Amino acid sequence: MEFVHRLSKKARRRILDVMLSRRPLRELAEILEVTPAAIAKYKSGATHPSDEVLIRLFENASDSEVEELVEIAIDDLIEALDSLCNYARSKGVSCRWDCICTSDSEGESDEMHRDT
């Protein structure tokens, strides 16, 4: 699950929130092999779940939870790639992954296309 390393702190908190919405904090702490205090710190934003904790989250999620977690992860990764593509455009660099970008440098298009 290499993708978890690339998730933002915001996405990590959102993923944790999904899991906490369906089980008590102490139960989740036990599943994740962390203390309840660690979960509370994740929730408050004082720290964020490590890659290993995120992997355990995914591995212990129900099918419906996995669907939500994957959606959060994909949205986060696309947002990061979109930001990078827009930065590249602002520097006059062509980005071959424009297909994932939501807007061009003029901010006028959200069409899906890929430069070749």
Domains and CATH numbers, the chain: 2-81 (1.10.260)
pLDDT number for residue 88 = 85
The pTM assigned to this predicted structure is 0.77
**Interval 60-75: pLDDT, tens:** 999 999 999 999 999 9
List CB contacts of 14: < 8 A, sequence separation 6 or more: 72
pLDDT number for residue 114 = 36
**Count of residues for the chain?**
116
CA-wise closest residue to 69 among 23, 12, 29, 28: 12
